Structure 1
């Protein structure tokens, strides 16, 4: 096995065997990072075998499977997060060590600690050809739209800030308002993180966009509007969702005209973020109101298509429909294959790190819900899968807030807001 010491905190290695992994604690390591996806070489230990061996030694194990061709900022940031923990020496490996070096130097570049011209000499100094890292960086720098993702572990949600580097204008998509269902407390940690990023990078916020009323977290759209004055927006069919849930919640005073948002988008509407033009796609199926936002070479689909190893969104909520969802998915997949696709949730299958960016081409090639799929087969698969899924734990908490644009119910005479939970209702609407 070959390994090189980058600094006192990081050792880069090629593929270790299980015996080597079992010896790492004695050598002073506290963490192991595996960047190699399973299946590349059947002679290598599997991710599960490696994780078990490392755990038995009392070390922390991180699974960040990447390939050079599908590398994203989320992969780089996940690797950086391990290094930033400063929890003892890190043993990071892939098949040859090249991917580890690639993520390391790109992280240094993104954080301003290294210049692009330093990549190739740095790699050569340690015996690696990092030409692919240079190519990735050049392609990233050429993009007209910069996207920063923020993952909320408690709800598996991804929030986005879309940035026009030319004008420093930006938009937020699907911000999370923190809610602890056990204590009934709300907080703004996630939303404030978005505001800090905007402030620290001297950005101007133009839009606060929701893709649909969410069933698994509270929307922070209204809070952010109050803090910044930026307009909120959602698809016009939110009115249909409001009418549906007004009845389910028995809320006679709920306005169902969408006036809780500053703007309602119709199919095909355009909007701008600085010098960039966006277009609204109506993408129902998961909900009656779901929309996708297409900006430059990127489409933000939230609960429609997940990462290729995670399939697609469910369609069994009130107002959902698998056939309708298939039509929406087909429209998205008709975009150019190089279109970047940003999803709204990631459930980290097989214990991997959070990921949220793919491409249309990657989805068509590798997503088992989409590859060589017909409408009939998809509907059958989706409906069978949905029958096995429990309802989201926050669906009844969240939707009464989110159909009002992220507002809590009006406080009662004691100054406290109360959520309303209809009993034995969802089961009847999904049978």
Structure 2
């Protein structure tokens, strides 16, 4: 195997034998980055074997599997993070070394350390054709709208700013208010990072949008409204969710008219992001009020579908339906093939890095739960899988905040806020006790 030295910090190579990793360590390498998806070819060692060999050799290890034709911003950022955090020289590999070098140069150009015109020259100097990297950069520069994402590790949630570069207007989608269920502490680190980006880029926030009342994190919509003055919005079917959960929480004082938001969107309604028109697509099934925001060629599909290797959302929450979810998925997959799809969560199957962007064509072709099946098959598979899933750990915390549009409960006479938990209210949730040694409790 031939190792190609790019600079003092980076070398790239074709597929190495894990038995060689100890030798790499003696040669001074400190980190190994594997950018090959498992199963690309017979006999490939794979992520688990490489990770074990790297650990045994004292090398840090990162798994950033990408196909050359489907590189996204998340992949580039993951490579840059792994490369930048390494404690010394890095060996990055794929099948030939080309993808590893492509991820590196794309990150260098995006960070301003390399110019577009230098990319192909660098490739030729080391025996690689990097014309595809240049095409990626040109296509990325032409994309409208621009999309900036933040991944919240604690909740595996993805938050977005969607930008019209012509007017510098933007919308914020599904922002996270930090919450620690063990201590009861709340915080605004995620939301403040979004605000810092808005300020640094000179953006004007036109809307703060929720795709649905989330069951796994608190919404930061109200906090961001207070900081920006931008209106908040969600689906007009949020009233159905409010009515359902109001009864579950036994809180008759909760208004169920959606007045906690400034605007309730009906299916098919439009809104503006500067010069770009946005459109609302009702996408129920995961919840009664889930919607997709379609802005230019970008669709924000919340939890209807995850990345193709993650499949689709569960449909067993109160008000959920696998059959309805299938219909929503088909509406999304009827969009043009090249439509960019941005998901609301990523649970990093196989231990890979976080990813959140795909296309309609990609989802239709390889989604784990959708490709090659029909409605009956999907519903049977989805319902069977949902029976094996535990309830989200923040479900009862989050819904009482999020059906209020992200407002925390009012302070009581001691100045503190309190959450309320209904006991034994969710059918089937006692299955979470299995294997936890709770006996007859």
Classify the TM-score, shorter chain: over 0.9
SS in 1 for 2:427: helix
Gaps of 5+ in 1: none
Alignment of 1:25-174 (within 5 A): 25-174=25-174
Structure 1 residue 189 and structure 2 residue 197: aligned? Answer: no
C-alpha deviation, 1:24, in angstroms: 2.2
What's the CA shift for 1:429?
8.8
Give, in angstroms, the shift of residue 162 of structure 1. 0.5
Secondary structure, aligned partner of 1:379: helix
TM-score (norm 1): 0.98
Superposed CA offset, 1:394-421 (max 9, x none) = 0000000000111110010000000001
Alignment match, 2:284: 284
Alignment partner, residue 297 of structure 2: 297
> In 2, are the aligned partners of 1:171 and 1:205 still within 8 Å (CA)?
yes
State the shift of 1:149 in Å: 1.2
- SS where residue 24 of structure 1 aligns? helix
SS at 2:24 equivalent: coil
Provide the alpha-carbon RMSD of the alignment. 1.3
Inter-partner Cα distance in structure 1 for 2:95 and 2:372: 30
* Aligned-pair CA distance for 1:15: 1.1
Q: CA deviation at 1:86?
A: 4.5
Within 5 A, what are the aligned runs for 1:21-420?
A: 21-420=21-420
Contact 1:318–1:429, Cα closer than 8 Å, also in 2: no
Unpaired runs of at least 5, structure 2: 432-441
* Paired residues of 1:17 and 1:44 also in contact (CA < 8 A): no
After superposing the two structures, state which structure 1 stretch, 390-399 or 12-21, moved more. 12-21
Give the distance between the partners of 2:413 and 2:208, measured in 1 at CA. 32
SS at the partner of 2:417? coil
TM-score by length of 2: 0.96
> What secondary structure, in the 3-state scheme, does the structure 2 residue paired with 1:426 have?
coil
Question: Could you report, residue by residue, the CA deviation over 1:301-355 in whole angstroms, capped at 9, with x for unpaired residues?
Answer: 0110010001000000000011111111110011111111110000000100000
Moved more, 207-216 or 100-109: 100-109
Mapped contact 1:318–1:430 kept (Cα < 8 A): no
The answer on whether the counterparts of 1:316 and 1:430 sit within 8 Å (CA) in structure 2 is: no
Structure 1 residues 34, 428: closer, same or farther in 2, change over 3 A? closer
Q: What's the counterpart of residue 436 of structure 2? A: none
* SS in structure 1 of the partner of residue 292 of structure 2: strand
Equivalent-residue separation in structure 2 for 1:156 and 1:364 (angstroms):
23
Paired residues in the alignment total: 431
Q: Distance in 1 between the 2:294 and 2:85 partners?
A: 36
